[in-house]
Chains A and B, each alone.
Chain A
Amino acid sequence: MTEITTEKARIGAPSAQPFINGFTEEGESLSPINVATSKAPLAGQAVKSHSHGGGVGIPDSSRAGRLTSYNLADFKPLTGLEEDWRFTPLKRLRGLHSAVLAGAAPTVTVSGPAQVTVETVARGDKRIGSAGIPEDRVSANAWENFSEATVITVPAEFEAGAEITVVIEGTSTEAAAQHLVIVAEKFSKAVVVLDHQGSAVVSENIEIVVEDGANLTVVSLQEWNADAVHASSQQARIGRDAKLKHVVVSLGGDLVRVTPSARFTAPGGEVEMYGLYFADAGQHLEQRLFVDHAVANCTSNVLYKGALQGRNAHAVWVGDVLIRKEAEGTDSYEANRNLLLTDGARADSVPNLEIETGLIKGAGHASATGRLDDQHLFYLMARGIPEDVARRLVVRGFLHEIIQQIKVPALEERLTEAVERELAVTNN
């Protein structure tokens, strides 16, 4: 194992020149802005001290150097060339990046055990800002414009027997801002389901605080109507020995962009991030996640799986995992798998792994995008199963690996049915 660790650590070690034109240790020099700064292999190093609200940071190829700020004005207007927006069709954002978000926010209805407190609070509440600072212009725009927030608190040492369901229902397509805070207090245990439905154009900030020893599952389900546009920044702060399981399921909506992040603040934390998406013709489903191993002895495991079908179905997955110098003993893995079911669909998949210390247990990243395996189909068909049934069996099986992670039977059943409906669309 020692050998493997050494080998992997070398990936992140700075070196004088790029091996391949247009590539640095951090990967492809993807946007023109990055090309300018990527002459220094660790351009991020120079700007790290200016991040966190300073507003001085410039985009660069290290995730650590990304600008974070509560102020919209600190983020330049988007051009679409920025690294974190280069896949997103800005024209279809319906103003989330440029307009004042004055529309009515989707209604929030929470149900769950009586011990769980639900409050509607004003902007000044001290819990707001406890888990995250906006990392992009659309998120900052929501931060600037939200009028009130919903705070859900799972009290210390309380183990919720039933899941907490948060129905977020959109009724208007005027650009709006939304803010939610979920706090799992010390040694609590709960499952929170964020059920996005209806029609909306909304930028949403969700802060997730997982206090020491807490065990929290958050499932964010996007089953919007076909006209919805949704940007959701879901930032989690992970306490000592705390555990977060985060599941993103994106099925409905015209454009859905979910950007979850998990930051370890004390040793012993454990994060599992799962994602499932099914993009149909014309749909843009994007997920960009960030795992920040800022402290020692934490574990993260990421698996996103998606199926795409129809013309201009577009899925984007970018996974940034950063293992900082302090994060010795880290164990981390991230993977993305895409199945292209028809011609005309496109999946972009970028697994980024930055490692600044060699003293880790493991770090890996993987990505694969392909069609259905002909050998799988042949095997099933050779047992009499017709081709369409065989295809469905394989796709269902492919996505089921994520669904079975949720462990809320009613929700698993609902998602299985939703996948069946998606499969029925083009008879795959």
Chain B
Amino acid sequence: MSTLEIKDLHVSIDTEQGTKEILKGVSLTIKTGQTHAIMGPNGSGKSTLASTIAGHPRYKVTSGTITLDGEDVLAMTVDQRARAGLFLAMQYPVEVPGVSMTNFLRTAKTAIDGEAPKLRTWTKEVKAAMAQLRIDADFAERNVNEGFSGGEKKRVEILQLELFKPKFAILDETDSGLDVDALKVVSEGVNRAHEAGNMGTLLITHYTRILRYIKPEFVHVFVDGQVVEEGGPELADRLEEEGYDRYATGAGAATIAAAAAAQA
């Protein structure tokens, strides 16, 4: 069993107006086999947490630690983190022109496993995984994410999740922009990866909708860069009914009100 541990994490970004602190002391422990949901209004720092774990250069960790089975994740480069077993399903997957999906998947798999996958079984595995996620076979020949719709990009993220078999997956608003059918397909993919690989999942979402398909054991509510409440699945149900309004105090109130208005 593996453990991903985040302790008192403070993260800032540089903006034109100066340095801005986004995460103000976040602590979280996830073990393989567990599913945690992080919920919160827009601008609460959910995506910052996801990108920081993956090592995006924009986010500066000013204090706190992230460890994977005791290893210092913050000391690792972006690619080392992925090879150590962390996977970030991105909110906005990037188009990489000129690099075919086939080439990309094989190169990444080779990097993660430390050896090239056996061509025959690999091709079969990719095809089967694509079929399960209802991704057209011709996507393999297309360039990474190029010209894919929002829903197609998200499915391709989950395809990678299933093929690369990470220890921990961070799903950054994978559900946003998906219609119900796509949401089901994507959720099934996550659940398969969870069962097959005993994966730990950090599910970041704004809405409760995806929680009908992916069942978290733990729910953390994020407001203004901090976890303000934690609980079991029943907390998600309560959020579904009440929204984020009751957390609206102090500085975070404005953002929450705006988010609530946007949602309504």
CB within 8 Å of B: which residues of A? 374-376, 378-387, 389-390, 393-394, 396-401
- Complex Cα gap A379–B56 (Å): 9
Chain B 60-102 residues near chain A, CB threshold 8 A: 77-79, 81-83, 88, 90, 93-94, 96-99
The reply to whether B111 and A379 form a contact with Cβ atoms under 8 Å apart is no
Whether B78 and A401, one on each chain, are in contact in the complex, defined by CB atoms closer than 8 angstroms, is no
Report Cα–Cα, A385/B97, bound state, in Å: 16
**A378:B96 contact, CB within 8 angstroms:** no
- Decide: A381 and B78 in contact? CB cutoff 8 A: yes
Q: Bound state CA distance, A223 and B112, in angstroms? A: 37
Whether A378 and B143, one on each chain, are in contact in the complex, defined by CB atoms closer than 8 angstroms, is: no
Residues of B within 8 A of A398 (CB): 97-98
Residues of A within 8 Å of B79, CB to CB, are 381-382, 384-387, 390
CB < 8 Å neighbour of A384 from B56, B82, B103, B144: B82
Cα A384 to Cα B90 with chains together (Å): 15
Which 6 residue pairs are nearest across A and B when measured between Cβ atoms? A397-B98, A384-B82, A383-B108, A381-B78, A384-B111, A379-B94
Q: A381-B79, A383-B160, A384-B83 are in contact. Are A389 and B94 (CB under 8 A)?
A: no
- For A394, list chain B residues within 8 Å (CB): 96, 98-99
Verify B164–A384 contact, CB threshold 8 A: yes
Let me know if A393 and B82 touch, CB within 8 A.
no
Query: Which residues of chain B come closer than 8 Å to A378, judged between CB atoms?
Result: 56-57, 78, 94
Residues of B near any A CB (own CB < 8 A): 54-57, 77-79, 81-83, 88, 90, 93-94, 96-99, 103-104, 107-108, 111-112, 143-144, 160, 164
- With A378-B57, A383-B164, A385-B108 already in contact, the answer to whether A393 and B94 are too (CB < 8 A) is no
Contact A374 B107, beta carbon cutoff 8 Å: no
> Beyond the given A385-B107, A385-B111, could you list 19 further A-B residue pairs with CB under 8 A, ordered by the A residue number?
A379-B94, A380-B96, A380-B99, A380-B104, A381-B78, A381-B82, A382-B79, A383-B108, A383-B164, A384-B79, A384-B112, A386-B79, A386-B111, A389-B111, A393-B96, A393-B99, A397-B96, A397-B99, A401-B97
Bound Cα distance from A381 to B99, whole angstroms: 14
CA distance A394 to B54 in the complex (A): 20
Q: List 29 A-B contacts (CB under 8 A).
A: A375-B94, A378-B56, A379-B90, A379-B93, A379-B94, A379-B96, A379-B144, A382-B54, A382-B55, A382-B79, A382-B81, A382-B88, A383-B82, A383-B160, A384-B79, A384-B83, A384-B112, A385-B107, A385-B108, A385-B111, A389-B107, A389-B111, A393-B96, A393-B104, A393-B107, A396-B99, A397-B96, A397-B99, A400-B98
* CA gap between A124 and B243 in the complex, in Å: 89
Residues of B within 8 Å of A379, CB to CB, are 90, 93-94, 96, 144
Chain B: minimal CB distance from A272 (Å) = 19
- The distance in angstroms between the C-alpha atoms of A397 and B144, with both chains bound, is 11
Q: Which A residues are in CB contact (< 8 Å) with B97? A: 397-398, 401
> In the bound complex, what is the Cα–Cα distance between A389 and B111 (angstroms)?
10
CA distance A396 to B160 in the complex (A): 22
Q: Chain A contacts of B88 at CB under 8 A?
A: 382
Interface centre among A374, A384, A396, A399 (most CB of B within 10 A): A384
B-chain residues with CB within 8 Å of residue A376 when the two chains form the complex? 94, 96
Nearest Cβ on chain B to A336's Cβ, whole angstroms: 16
Nearest-CB residue, chain B, relative to A396: B98
Shortest C-beta distance, A297 to chain B (Å), equals 30
Please, how many angstroms separate the alpha-carbon atoms of A5 and B96 in the complex? 32
Tell me how far the C-beta of A185 lies from the nearest C-beta in chain B, rounded to whole angstroms: 37
Give bound CA distance, A389 to B106, whole Å.
13
Q: What distance in Å separates the Cβ of B66 from its nearest Cβ neighbour in chain A?
A: 15
| Residues in B whose Cβ lies below 8 Å from that of A399 | 98
Q: Does A397 lie within 8 Å of B111, measured CB to CB?
A: no
- Chain A residues whose CB sits within 8 angstroms of the CB of B56 once the complex forms: 378
CA distance A394 to B55 in the complex (A): 20
Please give the distance in Å from A404's CB to the nearest CB on chain B.
10
Considering the chains assembled together, what is the distance between the CA atoms of A389 and B82 in angstroms? Answer: 15
How far apart are the CA atoms of A376 and B78 in the complex, in Å?
13
Provide the bound-state CA to CA distance between A381 and B107, in Å. Answer: 11
Q: Which residues of A contact B103 (CB under 8 A)?
A: 393
A396 to B108 Cα, complex, angstroms: 16
